[in-house]
Structure 1
Amino acid sequence: MEWKAYRFNELTINELHDIFRLRVNVFVVEQNCAYPEVDGLDPHCTHLVAKTGGRIAAYARLVPGGLKGELPAIGRVIVVPEARGTGLGRELVQRSRDFIINEWEEKEIFLQGQSHLEAFYASLGFESVSAEYLDDGIPHIDMKFSKN
């Protein structure tokens, strides 16, 4: 597995296409949720990508603090269907969290997680900070990680 954190302008056109295609396939098609997936934040974010055999296996978008909310955030967390249940999602969130803590030198991280993944994110040190709410028709919960 090859991991790399890209700034937007470091992505090739083909990599950007593959990221957008994966995000639309999962968040719009698979989850049957029509919303503006390409939201204008991507040029300001870091894109953490895991590839195997030249294909994206996992992806997360790391949003700097002050861009969407006060805290830096992990979002658009995806593991391709054929790699789900392998531990790749855990590694993706750990690497995302570690990048923000170590590279951006931040102490807190925000995450807007789907409610059915609350225990998964809690196992990685995130604490729930909101009641459950609907976001584009899908139950979510806000969570926060604080570096000790």
Structure 2
Amino acid sequence: MEIEIKTFEELTKNDLYKMLQLRSEVFVVEQDCVYQDVDGKDVKAIHILGWEDDILVAYARCFHPGDYFEDASIGRVLVRENYRKLGYGHEITKASIQAIKTKVKADKIKISAQTYLVIFYESHGFKTVGDRYMEDGIPHIAMIRV
């Protein structure tokens, strides 16, 4: 998988279309969750795109402190369904953490993790904080990496 890191302004129309299409495919259709994915925050985000040839197979977006949470943050982490089990989730997460360190110049990262992914994020140094909560009808928990 080839990883690209882009600001909103650096995204091509093709990048943007494929990114929104994949996010809708995973978060809206696959997870059967009706929510407003186009939330106005993409313009502030750093976009982490994982490509196999011309297919977007993994994605995440990162934020400076204060743009989403008080701390730097990572969200919308996903891997296209038929590319899971190839380690791409770990690759896109590592690339996101590195982007926070190099582009945002922050060490502390907060995420809102779906609870079934707690062990996955713990393997990347995140620790749960607080209680579980519902977000868009899916159980989540806040996690911090310092």
Normalised by the length of structure 2, the TM-score is 0.97
Deviation at 1:85? 1.2
| Structure 1 counterpart of 2:114 | 114
Size of the aligned set, in residue pairs, is 146
AA in 2 matched with 1:143: M
Instruction: Give deviations 1:57-80, integer Å, cap 9, x for gaps.
Output: 100011221112111110000101
- Aligned 1:81-100 pairs, distance under 5 A: 81-100=81-100
Determine the C-alpha separation between the residues in 1 that align with 2:52 and 2:78. 14
Q: Structure 1 counterpart of 2:46, which letter?
A: T
Percent identity, aligned pairs only, is: 39
Q: Which runs of 4+ in 1 moved over 6 A?
A: none
CA distance in 2, matches of 1:139, 1:89: 20
Give the CA deviation at 1:97: 0.7
SS at 1:56 equivalent: strand
Counterpart amino acid of residue 64 in structure 2: P
Q: Which stretches in structure 1 are left out of the alignment for 5+ residues?
A: none
Residue of structure 2 equivalent to 1:69: 69
In the alignment, structure 2 segments of 5+ residues that lack a partner are none
Q: Distance in 2 between matches of 1:82 and 1:48?
A: 19
- One-letter code of the match for 1:85? K
Q: Output the CA distance in 2 between the equivalents of 1:45 and 1:71.
A: 14
* 2-structure distance, mates of 1:39, 1:66: 16
TM-score, normalised to structure 1, is: 0.95
Cα shift at 1:113: 0.6
Name the counterpart of 1:129. 129
Specify the alignment match of 2:78 in structure 1. 78
Partner residue in 2 for 1:55: 55
Whether 1:21 and 2:21 are equivalent positions in the alignment is: yes
Task: Decide which moves more: 8-17 or 98-107.
Answer: 98-107
Q: What is the Cα-based RMSD across aligned positions, in Å?
A: 0.8
In structure 2, the residue matched to 1:10 is: 10
